[in-house]
Amino acid sequence: MKLNLPKIASSEITPQAVFEKRRELIKMAAGGALGLELSSWFSREAFATNKIQVKPNPSYTLMEKTTALKDVTSYNNFYEFGTDKADPIAYASSLVTSPWKVSIEGLVGKPKVFDIEDLRKLVPLEERIYRLRCVEGWSMVIPWVGYSLSNLLKLVEPLGSAKYVEFVSLADKKQMRGVNSSVLQWPYVEGLRLDEANHPLTLLTLGLYGDVLPNQNGAPVRVVVPWKYGFKSGKSIVKIRLVEKQPATSWNISIPSEYGFYSNVNPEVDHPRWSQASERRIGDEKGFFAPKIKTLKFNGYGDQVASLYAGMDLTKFY
Ligand SMILES: Nc1nc2c(c(=O)[nH]1)N[C@H]1C(S)=C(S)[C@@H](COP(=O)(O)O)O[C@H]1N2
Ligand SMILES: [Mo]
């Protein structure tokens, strides 16, 4: 299956031009002058080959160089296709992403099975530029396409007893060669507290770089939780379950001392086998030898999310 990627390489959008535009955009948002001008710039210049109608959300942008599309789509963790960074791009073409359904169930008043097409149309799609920090010590800056997960959760009317949300990825040996391996317990399951899932930053993600998600990035729908380590953001989701108790999650089951349920990005709490104080930005000119940059607490989203953890000992709830 051929990937449906935009024809312009991200490298053709010069970073300086992008910064200027983002700066302008933020000013406009601050002045309340959003709207036509903004969306026309994005559709004319940056995303001339868009397959998806997206509007940049200036509240969720960054003054950082975005990671080139080729790096975003060729250096991946998606163990359902193998454990090597190059496995997902090599083998994820076997994943059939249409038709695709996502069932939202559990402690909700109105459980519902959504077709992927309906999820794409639920509310207007936004472009949001987020940092993604992998627990392994590398990071990227990715222009995602999607909307706050809260838009979807409120439709199914969570019951008062619902305290956590469980995200279940597809696990089909026929389409996913890595599922034959016992490296993790399948299906891949991740979870959030309900208030984390409802935080506006938590993105139900349907695309990147102005197009649908490439298979290796979790097509056709994934979650992105930018203040947490990347493994909290499950790919190719088929089920979302609202539950009362903290769900058992794949990485926590396999190595609980290394991968906690919270997994907020935290340079002050080291992984038992390595420091989390710094990170390497993928795609930097000097490649593997690029100087490390400092990791920010909550991946730089502390102003927005620190209050979710008020009073909690983050060395204990890692
Ligand atoms: N289903 C599933 N989701 C997953 C993973 C996985 O192996 N399986 N890997 C996680 C990890 S460790 C990271 S860092 C991110 C990587 O997302 P990306 O490849 O789009 O950058 O996906 C996360 N989501
Ligand atoms: Mo990761």
CATH code, domain with 240: 3.90.420.10
Q: Is the shortest distance between the CB of 192 and ligand 1 below 6 Å? A: no
Q: Tell me the pLDDT tens digit for each residue of 154-174.
A: 999 999 999 999 999 999 999
Mutate to test the pocket of ligand 1, among 233, 236, 238 (most ligand atoms within 8 A of CB): 233
Q: Is residue 189 over pLDDT 50?
A: yes
Q: Is residue 266 over pLDDT 50?
A: yes
pTM: 0.91
Comparing 165 with 37, which gets the higher pLDDT?
Answer: 165
Q: Is residue 255 over pLDDT 90?
A: yes
Q: For position 14, what pLDDT does the model report? A: 64
Determine the distance separating the centroid of ligand 2 and the alpha carbon of 132, expressed in angstroms. Answer: 9
Cβ–Cβ < 8 Å for 207, 52: yes
Q: Is the shortest distance between the CB of 77 and ligand 1 below 6 Å? A: yes
Q: For position 15, what pLDDT does the model report? A: 67
Atom of ligand 1 nearest to the CA of 78: 7
Q: Which domain holds residue 204?
A: 46-309
Domain count for the chain, please give it. 1
CA proximity to 61, closest of 201, 213, 206: 201
Atom of ligand 1 nearest to the CA of 134: 14
Q: Is residue 93 over pLDDT 50?
A: yes
Instruction: Classify residue 304: in a domain, yes or no.
Output: yes
Q: Which ligand places an atom closest to the C-alpha of 181?
A: 1
Q: Where are the beta strands (DSSP E) in the chain?
A: 55-56, 101-106, 112-115, 126-133, 138-148, 164-169, 189-193, 203-208, 211-212, 222-224, 237-243, 278-281, 293-294
Instruction: Classify residue 9: in a domain, yes or no.
Output: no
Instruction: Classify residue 109: in a domain, yes or no.
Output: yes
Instruction: Classify residue 50: in a domain, yes or no.
Output: yes
Instruction: Classify residue 270: in a domain, yes or no.
Output: yes
Instruction: Classify residue 26: in a domain, yes or no.
Output: no
Instruction: Classify residue 176: in a domain, yes or no.
Output: yes
